[in-house]
Homo-oligomer: A and B are copies of this chain.
């Protein structure tokens, strides 16, 4: 997009400054550029905000890559204030809700957290891989996971600590596979996450299930064991929808990828 904008901008310069006899034009013309540039940016912004709304409300499902023209928009959102403000808001709303329950002390109130883009951020990886512009590459992503250096999403860490402090049991329910258990535990601990009750990863039996099926089955087991799923935090609708849904679900933003 920036390239397009620059191309349009530079293609207009000769038009603006050719056959100039009066210096008065030199004052007026840059305003025309600025207006045109602003209109182009406004249109991209309108279009990509609309796309993001559709992605975040699950209207687009399924989708594989972000629109090419929204590449800069998504990067700017993730690296600028937009993403931080959104993630902080989800965390604050979840804290208010979590605090509204009076625990009866039977240890049956649980909060489920997804891991990737919910507790841990893979932004360092995705910044190197187009932030959703490239089709997801399992083996490349696995190499990143195996480094075990994904940083905490700070507002999620605060929520995590809050729900543990309030007496909820924390269940981590992730699409990561069992063979990544050790590195995942190490990464989580180094990022500040401790005292979870259970870490559930995909076993070989879960291999061919969608995330919605796999996570629904695991939630059903929790309900059968007598747990009350009070809250569920995830960046994918497949973390939140399906059967045995939580009493309240909290959708973290993720404009980079979609998991069915």
On A, residues with C-beta under 8 Å from B are 46-47, 49-54, 56-61, 81-82, 85-86, 89-90, 93-94, 241, 245, 248-251, 253
Please measure, in the bound complex, the distance between the C-alpha atom of A90 and the C-alpha atom of B249, giving whole angstroms.
Answer: 22
Chief secondary structure at chain A's binding surface: helix
Task: Say whether B46 contacts A49, CB under 8 Å.
Answer: no
Identical copies in the complex? 2
Collect the chain B residues with CB atoms within 8 Å of residue A241's CB. 245
Task: Say whether A57 contacts B57, CB under 8 Å.
Answer: yes
Task: Say whether A81 contacts B251, CB under 8 Å.
Answer: no
Collect the chain B residues with CB atoms within 8 Å of residue A93's CB. 54, 59-60
Task: Say whether A82 contacts B250, CB under 8 Å.
Answer: no
Collect the chain B residues with CB atoms within 8 Å of residue A47's CB. 85
Query: 3 closest A-B pairs (Cβ-Cβ)?
Result: A57-B251, A50-B85, A50-B86
8 intermolecular pairs with C-beta atoms under 8 Å apart: A46-B81, A46-B85, A49-B82, A52-B53, A53-B86, A53-B253, A59-B90, A241-B245
In the complex formed, the residue of B with least CB distance to A52 is B53
Q: Which of A52, A82, A85 has the most CB of B within 10 A?
A: A85
* Contact pick for A56, options B56, B89, B90, B250, CB 8 Å: B56
Task: Say whether B59 contacts A56, CB under 8 Å.
Answer: no
Please measure, in the bound complex, the distance between the C-alpha atom of A241 and the C-alpha atom of B90, giving whole angstroms.
Answer: 19
Known A46-B85, A82-B46, A85-B46: A57·B54 in contact at CB below 8 Å = no
Collect the chain B residues with CB atoms within 8 Å of residue A50's CB. 82, 85-86, 89
